[in-house]
Each structure stands twice: as C-alpha cells, then as structure tokens.
Amino acid sequence: MSDLVPIVVEGRNCWRIERANKARMIVDAADYYALLERLMADAKERILLIGWDFDPRIALKPDKEGAGEPLGDYLLRLAKTCPDRDIDILRWNFGGLKQFAMPRIVAMIVRWKITRSISFRLDSAHPVGCSHHQKVAVFDDHLAVCGGIDVGARRWDTRDHKDADPHRTAPDGKAYMPWHDSTMLLSGPVGNALADLGNERWQRATKKPLREINGSGEGWPDDLEADFEGVDVAISRTRAEYGDAPQVREIEQLYLDMIAAAKRFVYFENQYFTCGKIAAAIAERLSEDDPPEFVMVMPETADGWLEQMAMDAARVQLVREVAKAKHGDRLRVYYPRTKGGTSIYVHAKTAIVDDRAIRVGSANLNNRSMGLDSECDVTIDSALPTNRGIEPVIRRLRESLIAEHLDVDPQQVARRFEATGSLIETIEGLRGGGRSLELLDLVPPGPMDEFIAENELLDPTSPDAMFESLTERGLRKSWHRGRDWMARTRPFGRKR
C-alpha cells in the first residue's frame, strides 16, 4: 500500500498531526474504567477530565451488585493523598444542570468545592442548542485518552456483554442494557496536543487558563502493551462558531474523504446514521462499477423515545435511499445482540478503511456531530510516511471488533475474510445463534417520526439551521449537498 495518498491532511480534515510514542485502542468501559483509575492515581501534576457526561456516583470497578467505591469519593481520596495535583473536571452544562436535582451528586460537588485541588466546571461555551460532546482525558499534559466513552452511569460493560450481568447496575439500583464503546489511549506529543485542546476548551468555558505544569515524562503503564508505537496521529474536530471562535468542520470532511478513498471496504461502528450528506457520499460510491463495501454496526434503536423518533426514522429513510444505488446491496447495517437475544447498545464511534486507516472518537454519523456539537476524533493513517507497515495492526483490531460481535475467535474472522475478500460475506458466513449480529429491520417510520426526521428537527446541520424554515432544511437538501460534493471533488484519483 506504499502508493497510497494519505487521507488525513492538516488544515483540510484535521487540526494537527502529531507523534504518538505509544497508542492503544481500549474497547468497552470495563477495561477503560479500570485503566482510568490507574492513570489518575499515577498522574503527578494534573488530571483533566472533559466530557459530555460525568457521574461521581459510579464505581470504576463495580462488584457483583454493581457497587464499589464511588468515583467522587475516589477523587477526594486522590486529592488527599496528593494535594498539589490538580483535578480539573469540565462537563456539558445542560447535562450537568440536570444532575443538580440529585442530592447525592449535589452533596459530592459541595465536597469537591471545599477541596482545593479539585475544580468542577460546567461548559456552556457554545450556541443555543449545541452540546459539548468531546470525551477527552489528559494526564500531566502528555498522556491522553480520546474516544467515545463517557465517565457516566450505564456505560460499564465487558467485551463478553453477558446477559443480566449484575455488575451492570446503575447508581439508582436499576439494571441497564449491555453497552459497547471504544476509546484510544495515546502518549507523547499527541498527548501534548490533546492537552492544548483541553486547555483551550477549559479557558473558553471558564474564562480562566489552567495552571502551567511541567508536562514531562511518559506515564505509559508498564504492563500495558501498545497497539502502535512511534506513529503519527491526526486530531480532527467539530466546533460551532461562538464568540471569537470560528466554525470547524474537520470531522465532516474526514468522513467524506474516508468514504471517497476506500477501495475495498469501510467498517463503521456508530450510534447514529442520520447525516444526509454522508449517506449521499456512500450512495455515490455504490453507484460506481466496482465500489467498496460499507458495513455499519449500530444500535437496534436509539436510546430514548425522542431520539428514536428523530434518529431511527432518519436512519431508515437514508438506508433505503442508499439501497437504490447501482450496488446498494454492498451496504449492510447490523446490530449486535447478546446470547439471550438482548440488543447491545452501540455507542462507539469507530471507522476502519481498508485496514489502512483507523479512526476513534466522539463524533456520530449525524448532523449534530458535523457542525453543531463540539467533537474530537483521532485517526491513524498508514499512508503517512512514519506509519508505513501498520496495516496488520489495524487489521487485527478490526478482526477483534467483528469477532466480539459474532462471539467467535478473531482467527475465524481472518480466515473467512482471506477466503472471500468480502467483509459482508465474512459476517454473513459467521452469523449464527447466540451472541451475534442481526440485520437491521428497516421498519417504515410513522407519520410523526417521518416528519421529525425529514425536517431534521432534532438533528440540524448547524446552529443557524435550527432557525431556518422547513423549506430551507431537511434530509433531501443534505443528501444533495453530499452528492454534489462527491461529484465535484472526485478525490484520490478515483473515476466513475
């Protein structure tokens, strides 16, 4: 693959490309939370936690009743043992305000407030209707986590996704559904860059800069094996225009460029698929004579009644429209289920192109993540000179993800793909009873669902779009924008 042109380009679809001394993909929150506990304990000068959600009631290592030391108490213990270490927490303001109705959380925040080394702030530095959706953690400004896992309730689960696992008990004592997610741990200069992003976000939200720290060292856990070493990593963002901060749509551009660059397949794990522009770009590729395959692993339904009306209906409409392309059968949408048949909720935002590029972040395949909410993704592209030869690692990660969903050994996925050359045939050949992947049932939406989805009422393309008339917005207009972009650019030397 040495003749490949890099997908990631600074100033086009990413903010910065920086070196990672080490990098590792972390799948599902059980492993991440256990690692997070260690990373916070090992930090010398600062723990910076930035996210859409943050719940101090959760246990990072829940016992068989779902209980354990609450995160809030753990942070207080860290503050006591090392009072000179800053613990800075920034979360989205709207979600945070809802938590003030919960006495346990209010009591914990009060205890934090009187603890000198802990700062808890709410982020409202965005236009009305937008949210702060990044999930970034930085330790001593050189070790960082970026991905899709919130440090919140109802997120913990193992890669086994067991039925009725008692560890999956929320702080309110109620059991919750199996949950699939992913994030990326990175060290070195890319950690410094994510620290810069976090520092900028903190200052924008609080009007005060974070304290200057030394930020030296490595900090990588001695017993944690890295997936990648000495690779360049691209950081891509979404940010709505606000104050003196201009709009940033690097994430949207990167999705389009990944779709355009694919030769064999794009494998997506994502919570939503409601962006007409992205769907149209896929449809344009599937209208070619020999297009790549597109496989999506998603939730069976969105989480929450309102989201189901908006997101599920739009997904059905877009998938049906893509299926009309010349090779529409090369798009398959699956959802994972447990051994007992319970749907596993997919919250991950992962994309793999041809085993030559892997992307992990916070951005969904919906309009909000393209231009409304603040997002951050990281991508490792084998076409960058420093990254030559990493394709086998990306392939191994892809095989591991698919094997998790199908409850098979990754070697079975590898052998099947080698024999067929097709991601769809590989999955279809390994699907079966028990824990597996199911094809999404494209049930037609009802009239109200269809109206909400068609007019993008809950998933606008930009802050301004929220105030546009219905004649100036909608899935069809987004679709045409994506089709026109693909026809206009013809990137990566590809021809129809």
Domain with CATH 3.30.870.10 in the chain: 16-229, 239-489
pLDDT of residue 93: 83
Tell me the three state secondary structure of residue 495. Answer: coil
pLDDT of residue 459: 58
CA–CA gap between residue 30 and residue 323 (Å, rounded): 37
CA-CA-CA-CA dihedral for 397, 399, 403, 406, to nearest 10: 120
CA–CA gap between residue 350 and residue 387 (Å, rounded): 19
Q: What is the DSSP string of 97-113?
A: HHHTT-HHHHHHHHHHH
Number of helical H runs and strand E runs in the chain: 15, 18
Which element (helix H / strand E) includes 17? Answer: strand 16-27
pLDDT of residue 3: 78
pLDDT of residue 304: 67
What per-residue string of b and e applies to 443-477 under the rule 16 or more CB within 10 Å gives b?
Answer: eebeeebbebbbbbebbbbbbebbebeeeebbbeb
pLDDT of residue 216: 67
Which element (helix H / strand E) includes 238? Answer: strand 228-239
Task: Report helix, strand and coil shares of the chain as percent, to nearest 5.
Answer: 35, 25, 40
Which element (helix H / strand E) includes 353? Answer: strand 350-353
pLDDT of residue 261: 97
| Beta carbons of 292 and 267 less than 8 angstroms apart | no
pLDDT of residue 311: 77
Which element (helix H / strand E) includes 436? Answer: strand 436-439
Which element (helix H / strand E) includes 337? Answer: strand 331-337
| Beta carbons of 119 and 89 less than 8 angstroms apart | yes
CA–CA gap between residue 180 and residue 173 (Å, rounded): 21
CA-CA-CA-CA dihedral for 268, 272, 275, 276, to nearest 10: 80
Model pTM? 0.92
Say which CATH superfamily domain 16-229 falls into.
Endonuclease Chain A (3.30.870.10)
Phi, psi of 248 (to 5 degrees): -130, 130
Full pLDDT tens readout for the chain, 496 residues: 457 899 999 999 999 999 999 999 999 999 999 999 999 999 999 999 999 999 999 999 999 999 999 999 999 999 999 999 999 999 988 766 667 678 888 999 899 999 999 999 999 999 988 899 999 999 999 999 999 999 999 999 999 999 999 999 999 999 999 999 999 999 999 999 999 999 999 999 999 999 999 876 668 999 999 999 999 999 999 999 999 999 999 999 999 999 999 999 999 999 999 999 999 999 999 999 999 999 999 999 877 655 666 678 888 889 999 999 999 999 999 999 999 999 999 999 999 999 999 999 999 999 999 999 999 999 999 999 999 999 999 999 999 999 999 999 999 999 999 999 999 999 999 999 899 999 998 755 555 445 544 555 455 666 665 545 445 556 667 766 667 777 776 555 454 4
CATH topology of domain 239-489: Endonuclease; Chain A (3.30.870)
CA–CA gap between residue 228 and residue 124 (Å, rounded): 36
